[in-house]
Amino acid sequence: MTNTYITNATWVISGQKLDLRMGQSSDDASTIYLDDIALDGVSGITDAGEMKIPENARVIDATGKLLMPALFDMHAKIEIAGCSKRESIYRTGQAATKGGVWGMLVMPTGGFCFDNASTLDSFADAVTQRSAATMVPAGCITEGMQGQRQTPYNTLAARGVSILSDAEHVTDNLLMLHRAMKYAAELGLTFAIRGDVPALTHNTCIHPGTTSYKLGLHGTPACAEEIGIETLIRLANDAGAKLHIQTVSTAEGVNIIRKAKQSGMKNLTAEVALHHLLYTHENVGDYNTTFKTLPPLRDASDCEALIQGVKDGTIDCIVTDHTPCIPFAKKQDFISAPQGMVALDTMLPAIYTHLVKPGKLSWANIVRACCTNPVSIVCPYDQEEGTPLEAPLLLFDPTAEFTVTEADMTCGTTNTPLLGSCLCGSITLPLC
């Protein structure tokens, strides 16, 4: 078997230049750790320039390129209205690998309602046949995501489910949720829920501020998210359940989570969607539905607080909240148009261009928030025994530039504000 040698790659965590040999047979493969990241299938790592390479080997010169673990997205929807499930799985898998994502947690939707064993089994079969990326389903908290009757958690857990979520749906039945958390805690399952008080956010679609006033749209109060986060934390703490707060969008939401963690709540994690780090409600402009998201885009001060939350570890994960929408749906009026944007195709270049290159976040922040933390939450491993994380590697070229076009969007839809913009960086080695 011909070996592949990667020479002069820069490991993003330490900045050290490395040579490594890949593609060995399973008999020779070993797990090597670099700064606590496990690199499976890598059989040799040396300082740059010291490796002796046979004449018939395949050599990839990675001078100027960055070696890093591929990303894991903890929040993605893959269903596209009007497309078959199998086609959605295929296109989303292609989009993920193009954006540097090797795996994702798939949220339940109407077409992929993971509330029973048969749906999970059929999804697993389709992913095996169609997807280039690993797809882990999040089991539904309640039947049909209706918020009333809990699903059979023991059955879902037996199918490998570790995360429970009703996606964008938030129940107001707190008694049911509290009891469900107690039951799920015995199975070690994690609840992934966004903070919300439905009574306060009904028929709202934008952050209350100058833009909502100008456009005459009802605003979604930030306090609804913050009250929801506080309520979820108290319920989970009392029930002894693991809790993952989804798509935090406000500065006070970050503070609530920070205080809970500082008080000693260990089973609490949180995420922020990439668009909440990059855009504000002012980007909505003149009813631009591309910027309609759930929760809505907030103020610049919220963006800054969220970035600081990622830096100090209050926010554990950066996610895409990938939500494909057909063009017709987004061309409706702002109130009627669906919420969400797609981001898998461009995840790593967008993160580099808008967060790493300007110095807002470091590569160490990105690897922690987009690789190690998401994997450890979705696929818990034994810290004491040191079971390795199975993140594949990629090479990233920070000097490359490209303009995002519709042809680049392999996910099947184009509801992204990045169309026509220039992004820096490209993935120059297929995930390995």
**Side-chain half-sphere of 401: how many Cα atoms within 13 Å?**
4
- Listed in sequence order, the residues at least 6 apart from 42 whose beta carbon sits closer than 8 Å to its beta carbon are 20, 21, 22, 29, 30, 31, 32, 393
Torsion of CA 319, 324, 329, 331, to 10 degrees: 70
CA distance to 181, 201, 215, per residue, from 197 (Å): 18, 7, 24
Cβ atoms of 190 and 242 closer than 8 Å = yes
Cβ atoms of 108 and 115 closer than 8 Å = yes
Mind giving me the DSSP string for 132-150?
SSEEEEPBPSBGGG-SSSB
Residue 430 burial by CB count (10 A; 0-12/13-18/19+): exposed, middle or buried? exposed
Tell me which residues are annotated as active site: 321
User: Which tokens sit at 308?
Assistant: 């600081």
The residue type at 160 = G
- Listed in sequence order, the residues at least 6 apart from 182 whose beta carbon sits closer than 8 Å to its beta carbon are 239, 240, 241
- CA atoms of 119 and 161, how far apart (whole Å): 12
- CA atoms of 235 and 233, how far apart (whole Å): 6
